[in-house]
Structure 1
Amino acid sequence: MSATEPVILVTGASGQLGRLVIAALLDKVASSRIVAGVRDPGKVADLAAKGVGVRVVDYDRPETLAAAFAGVDRLLLISSNELGRRMPQHKATIDAAKAAGVGLIAYTSILGAATSPLPLAAEHAETEAYLAASGVPHVFLRNGWYIENYAGSIAPALEHGAVLGASGDGRISAAARADYAEAAAVVLASDDQAGKIYELGGDEAFTMAEWAATLADLSGKPVVFKNLPEADYKGFLVSVGLPEGFADLLATSDTGASKGGLYDGGKALSTLIGRPTTSLRASLAAALKG
């Protein structure tokens, strides 16, 4: 690893989280130290114009990875969004980073990955274990839920006066995607991060009943939360057009939330970023303003 001015590469840099991480990094380090790893360089022409390096990084094309990681000191491996295919993609990335001599890999995982009741966590736990066994210095960024995950529920909730789910009284430590991106940037721009595990969640946990009540208060319209059995919630999601696999993911994640799988009260996220995380009320207010 370079003694000074380490080079930082962010995978998935054209995605929602990746772009926010790079934006946060640009406030902390010189653009010449930042590399955007993307499948399609054309999607980050705006970043290139700011002096950010651009390299082809395709999880499904391992032959692209060795060249992409050459000279990179710190790598942010943003987890793939292709459920069921994550492990081979992540493995190829970790192997290539190790071969290239990358000095630190930060991985975006999920809250309590090894013990989480969410089936979604399985591939994260496998990736963590593989990375730990690789010998490459690493740090786990165990992200909680994004508040934005519920943005698509706002309009139908206002229209029908209800939001459906299977999370029961489970408390959800959600934060804005930008909060998690800022945390990743802080870690990537800092020294002595190897071996750390960050359980990251919002300062103010909420139940979906509280989400509904907050939306009702801000909008002036009646909104309630209706809890359903997991199978019924999945069936509802399929009935409104969601693919069965995605519907299953949402339903089982809600059930996991009912068991505490999306709650963390440690406030490591706000400590890391040096400010309070985005509140539910602020997030909903911004969404309502459009």
Structure 2
Amino acid sequence: MIAITGATGHLGQLTIAALLKRGVPAQNIVALVRNPAKAAELEAQGVQVRQADYRQPETLDAALQGVDKLLLISSNDFEDRVGQHRQVVDAAVRAGVKLLAYTSILRADTSGLALAADHKATEDLIRASGLPFVFLRNGWYLENYNPAQAAQYGAVAGSAGEGRVSAASRADYAEAAAAVLSQPGHDNAVYELGGDEAFTLGDLAAEVQAQSGRPVVYQNMPEGDYAQMLRGVGLPDALAEMLADSDVHLEKGDLYTDSGDLRRLIGRPTTTLTEGVRAALQ
């Protein structure tokens, strides 16, 4: 039995689709969701749907009954991510889960990204739990960028200078998760996951220009100015600061990897910048 937290989110849905494609029977997949009413499509495919809320630990013990492998998709609540993750890890221990996979971030133990601190703390929790684990240290998603908006306004804004990012598609990372959940031999593995072809934000702007036929430039900004710009378009303060900080550390190499782990896990080349921009513009 394989359970996925956050199963109605983008990554969760893609992971379940990848498991089904790999031949895992639908009845052996458990979609853990806060609101089961939003999981009707998964239920229609034969997937088990169980309520599980990080903020309601009493739901977790029942949700994890009979689960052998668990994918903990990191919470998107920046205020108490580690506390929420702790609830899931503790429940997994009580349920006797045999493998806990966690979606972390590239080089969580050494990265300078502010975003990495919660991931490192969660990895430490999981190691201390004694459960066999897999750390899926995901790099940046291609979907983090908005080529259509860049084409509309003629600019890609950021604070990354000439730093290179090893981005891949969300579907690539989901396939990697499905691989470790559906195959043996991954106990206590740490995978540094990223795209095969790293690129700069200048490269991104050039690709959007080439495909859209509109002039697009990369506008490099000081961190504070970029964060202020993001606030100005409606992003919450915490998210704006996180994105600006991430760009600064992108320039320092914290979102670059040449490990090849993602390509090996999914058994094919990762999604390219060209393919990602094409999909976004379509």
Q: Settle same-fold status: TM greater than 0.5.
A: yes
Counterpart position of 2:25: 30
Select 2:251's aligned residue among 237, 255, 258: 258
Separation (CA, whole Å) in 1 of partners of 2:149 and 2:264: 35
Residue 128 of structure 2 aligns to a residue in which SS? Answer: helix
Select 2:116's aligned residue among 104, 114, 121: 121
Separation (CA, whole Å) in 2 of partners of 1:131 and 1:219: 45
* Residues 45-56 of structure 1 aligned to structure 2 (within 5 Å): 45-56=40-51
* C-alpha deviation, 1:26, in angstroms: 0.7
Counterpart position of 1:159: 152
* C-alpha deviation, 1:15, in angstroms: 0.4
* C-alpha deviation, 1:157, in angstroms: 2.0
1:17 maps to 2:34: no
1:112 maps to 2:112: no
Deviates more, 1:158-167 or 1:108-117: 158-167
* C-alpha deviation, 1:137, in angstroms: 0.7
RMSD: 0.9
Aligned residues: 281
1:232 maps to 2:245: no
Separation (CA, whole Å) in 1 of partners of 2:59 and 2:149: 43
1:229-261 deviation per Cα after TM superposition (whole angstroms, max 9, x unaligned): 101111111122222111101100111101101
| TM-score under structure 2 length normalisation | 0.98
* Residues 60-99 of structure 1 aligned to structure 2 (within 5 Å): 60-99=55-94
Unaligned runs of 5+ in 1: 1-6
* C-alpha deviation, 1:117, in angstroms: 1.3
* Residues 182-261 of structure 1 aligned to structure 2 (within 5 Å): 182-261=175-254
1:238-290 deviation per Cα after TM superposition (whole angstroms, max 9, x unaligned): 1222221111011001111011011001111011100111101011112212x
* C-alpha deviation, 1:160, in angstroms: 2.7
Identity %: 56
Separation (CA, whole Å) in 1 of partners of 2:234 and 2:96: 45
Q: Is the 8 A contact 2:154 2:217 kept in 1?
A: yes
Counterpart position of 1:4: none
Separation (CA, whole Å) in 2 of partners of 1:158 and 1:91: 42
1:95-117 deviation per Cα after TM superposition (whole angstroms, max 9, x unaligned): 00001101010000000001111
* C-alpha deviation, 1:220, in angstroms: 1.3
Select 2:174's aligned residue among 178, 181, 185: 181
Counterpart position of 2:262: 269
Residue 58 of structure 1 aligns to a residue in which SS? Answer: coil
Separation (CA, whole Å) in 2 of partners of 1:16 and 1:286: 16
Amino acid at match of 2:123: E
Counterpart position of 1:288: 281
Unaligned runs of 5+ in 2: none
Residue 145 of structure 2 aligns to a residue in which SS? Answer: helix
Runs of 4+ aligned residues of structure 1 deviating over 6 Å after TM superposition are: none
